[in-house]
Copies of this chain bind each other. A is one copy, B any other.
Amino acid sequence: MATKLNLDKLDMQIISEMMEDAQISYADLGKKLFVSGGTIHVRIKKLQEHGIVKGTKLNVDLKALGYDITAFIGVYLEKSSLYDTVAKDLQKIPEIVRLNYTTGNYSMFIEVVCKDINQLRYVLHDALQKIKGIERTETLISLEESFNRKVQVASNLA
């Protein structure tokens, strides 16, 4: 997959543009970056072959779908050696969308997306309580997401 690869300015510009909008046609993107559509095509193919570009995902308005609540939960483990088994159990809870193993205050840090407070309460009081090895948890409910943007990769010139 990941042979080492030199990415030039054009590669980075393509990635940067398509991280925002992956539907733009090669011809249009070529115009924007002053090359032909064929060149865009070759570059994207190269990026895909090297595993840098892994595909495209639909950008969905979760609030419009009724998923109003995002919460972050810091997890304290009884022993840090329990990480792997607890991680497996957490993965079974569908409301948990992300799990990170972290340094600092918590042993692990999870993100939860729910339709309402009842569903969040269920996750916190039922689903998580059933998992062995969790000492306690600390919940941060997001009242507002001020921004959520892509990594700014465009500053790289090579």
Contacts and interface: CB of A to CB of B under 8 A. Distances in A.
Interface string A134-154: 000011111111111111110
Given A23-B55, A55-B21, A61-B54, A72 B102 contact: yes
A142 B22 contact: no
Contact of A100 (B67, B139, B145): B145
Contact of A102 (B7, B140, B150): B140
Q: How many copies does the complex hold?
A: 2
Interface size grouping (class) on chain A: 35 or more
Nearest to A67: B151
Interface in A115-158: 138-153, 155
Interface of A: 2, 7, 15, 18-23, 50-62, 64-65, 67, 70, 72, 74, 87, 90-91, 94-95, 97-106, 108-109, 113, 138-153, 155
